Structure 1
Amino acid sequence: MSGERLRIVRGREWARPVRPARREVLSALPDPEQGRPPLLFVPGFGHGAWAFAEHWLEHTASRGFPAYALSLRGHGGSEPAPEASLRAYAHDVVQVAAELPRQAVLVGHGAGALVVAHALARYPARAGVLVAPVFGGWGTLGAALRRNPVGTLPAFWGGRLRLNQRQLFSPELPGTVARAHLARLGRAGRRAQWRLLFPGALEPAVGRPPVLVLGSPDDRVVPAAALTRTARRYGSAPLLFPGMGHDLMLDARWQEPVDAILDWLVKEPAPAVVPV
């Protein structure tokens, strides 16, 4: 049995399996089918699959890629789960990815990028994409406290993390649209939020798939230094979109980053498939 396989099959998963949960998955499929790898979009904490259904799903399908968006348990239209853990979120991603017709590209946004990073250690993805990744730690949380103390402090005691309009969107997005998006935000599980304080070490990705990191130097959630640090972890530099907010998939110039992701996938060679 290979070392890659040993990292997928873990004693803890067998001894203490994650409780099943009903998961919302939205999709948009190309017509005709072109045999390209499916993309599974994973939203950040407080967001649901709706955040990608707004623009990115249909646009991805229009370029020939099957597109799916998952609401993590406790988010969007998925089953309520106030005590969900980061491990449970990663389990959701792996389970949905394993049900797709072909080896998937995992795309995580915000704290959903941290979930995807954990899922990559359990699922042999075609590639990984980390959009404005929130990997936690005191640097990122310190920046959030400085910019939005009222919305950030409650999360330290298990309360809801509330991001504001200036943190998520650029001034280019009309205020009425931004407020409508804000009204749809929910909350993550307390245990998962606390993991942002102490994120711990990440295991290597199964099969060492290519990983793209992208974000904005004007993001008011993820400091530029944190974006660069995450990209270096995967041996690259971040792809930057100046003038955009944290929620790149909902901001005024939403098409630029998703086109960059799809262009990269067209050029990037596929890794070897690891049997599971």
Structure 2
Amino acid sequence: MSSVRIMRTRDWASPVPPARRELLTATPEVADDTRPPVLFVPGFGHGAWAYAEHWLEHAASRGFAAHAVSPRGHGSSEPAPKATLRAYAHDVVQVAAGLPRQAVLVGHGAGALVVAHALARYPARAGVLAAPVFGGWATLGLALRRNLFGTLPAAFGGRLRLGRRQLFGRDLPEPLARDYTRRIGHASARAQWELLRARAPENPVGDPPVLVVGTPDDRVVPRSALDKVARRYGGAPLLFPGMGHDLMLDTRWQEPVDAILDWLEKGGE
């Protein structure tokens, strides 16, 4: 049986300061108390808007109360140039704890690492890690090979810049791709550096089921990393070939979210 830390000295000795957070919500036409609320968490530079494009309303159309949070410094949340991964996870836990029922946490990209840290503090109904970026020097090496000039500044505290080739499949219309990339901001330099250090998340509270989804054609997350994260949670990744890293914005966005919702309907099995 895995152990879970109950008392964290740092949490009370150095609490995360409060921050105003953006929360977008889509509710089903007919409430269904048998289905858990779903809280979507974006990756670095993205905001709740990335889920509001497609996944938020689609989840509601399938009977799930759906929410998307922008952690501090993202989207329309309060600016936070010195935010840490711990602060991002704190935002997720605070929003999830304020929902009326035990929620499912869904994180994308580096937001999947944030969700993994939040799962160690919040007893989620289930967790979903989409195209998870768990960091480390191997991830940096891949990013440098595929996106040298966009990645190198981030290694020295600058802004990480991801372009169309890193984020989307070839069939996404160019005007949409340009619009999405223009809307992407950046995480704090400190959080980016913490991502490179790749401190492993603690074990989830209550051992919830965790699903890993991704694409073997991801130009940000190598297939080996998908397999490694999935093994950590006792499974194999659910793959969607031909898609880009931003699963929720790519042309075939409906396929992964339907797979996630189907999995939840089956009880996370």
In the superposition, the TM-score normalised over structure 1's length comes to 0.95
Q: Is the 8 A contact 2:126 2:268 kept in 1?
A: no
* CA offset digits 1:100-159 (Å, max 9, x no partner): 010000000000000000000000000000000000012211111001000000001110
Question: In the TM superposition, what is the alpha-carbon distance from 1:225 to its structure 2 partner?
Answer: 0.5
Where does residue 250 of structure 1 map in the other structure? 249
Residue identity opposite 1:212 in structure 2: L
Where does residue 266 of structure 2 map in the other structure? 267
Q: Is the 8 A contact 2:121 2:205 kept in 1?
A: yes
In structure 2, do the counterparts of structure 1 residues 219 and 269 end up closer, same or farther at CA, with 3 Å as the change threshold?
closer
Where does residue 230 of structure 2 map in the other structure? 231
Identity %: 73
Q: Greater shift after overlay, 195-204 or 142-151? A: 195-204
Where does residue 9 of structure 2 map in the other structure? 11
5+ long unaligned stretches in structure 2: none
- State the secondary structure of the residue aligned to 2:219: coil
* CA offset digits 1:13-63 (Å, max 9, x no partner): 111100000000001001110111000000000000000000000000000
Question: In the TM superposition, what is the alpha-carbon distance from 1:10 to its structure 2 partner?
Answer: 2.0
Q: Is the 8 A contact 1:4 1:206 kept in 2?
A: no
Residue identity opposite 1:72 in structure 2: P
In structure 2, do the counterparts of structure 1 residues 250 and 6 end up closer, same or farther at CA, with 3 Å as the change threshold?
closer
Inter-partner Cα distance in structure 1 for 2:242 and 2:3? 42
Question: In the TM superposition, what is the alpha-carbon distance from 1:4 to its structure 2 partner?
Answer: 9.5
Inter-partner Cα distance in structure 2 for 1:225 and 1:113? 16
Aligned pair 1:108/2:107, yes or no? Answer: yes
In structure 2, do the counterparts of structure 1 residues 269 and 49 end up closer, same or farther at CA, with 3 Å as the change threshold?
closer
Inter-partner Cα distance in structure 2 for 1:110 and 1:116? 10
Residue identity opposite 2:74 in structure 1: H
Inter-partner Cα distance in structure 1 for 2:140 and 2:53? 28
In structure 2, do the counterparts of structure 1 residues 5 and 228 end up closer, same or farther at CA, with 3 Å as the change threshold?
closer
Q: Is the 8 A contact 1:8 1:123 kept in 2?
A: no
Inter-partner Cα distance in structure 1 for 2:77 and 2:134? 23
Residue identity opposite 1:10 in structure 2: R
Residue identity opposite 1:24 in structure 2: E
In structure 2, do the counterparts of structure 1 residues 264 and 194 end up closer, same or farther at CA, with 3 Å as the change threshold?
same
5+ long unaligned stretches in structure 1: 271-276
Aligned pairs for 1:83-232 within 5 A: 83-232=82-231
Inter-partner Cα distance in structure 2 for 1:158 and 1:88? 18
Where does residue 33 of structure 1 map in the other structure? 31
Inter-partner Cα distance in structure 1 for 2:88 and 2:127? 16
- State the secondary structure of the residue aligned to 2:128: strand
Residue identity opposite 1:88 in structure 2: A
Residue identity opposite 1:232 in structure 2: R
Question: In the TM superposition, what is the alpha-carbon distance from 1:5 to its structure 2 partner?
Answer: 10
Write out the 4+ residue segments of structure 1 that deviate beyond 3 Å after TM superposition.
3-6
Q: Is the 8 A contact 1:4 1:207 kept in 2?
A: no
In structure 2, do the counterparts of structure 1 residues 196 and 176 end up closer, same or farther at CA, with 3 Å as the change threshold?
same
Residue identity opposite 1:17 in structure 2: P
Two-structure CA RMSD over aligned residues (Å): 1.5
* CA offset digits 1:207-241 (Å, max 9, x no partner): 00000000000000000101111100001000000
Where does residue 58 of structure 2 map in the other structure? 59
Question: In the TM superposition, what is the alpha-carbon distance from 1:255 to its structure 2 partner?
Answer: 0.2
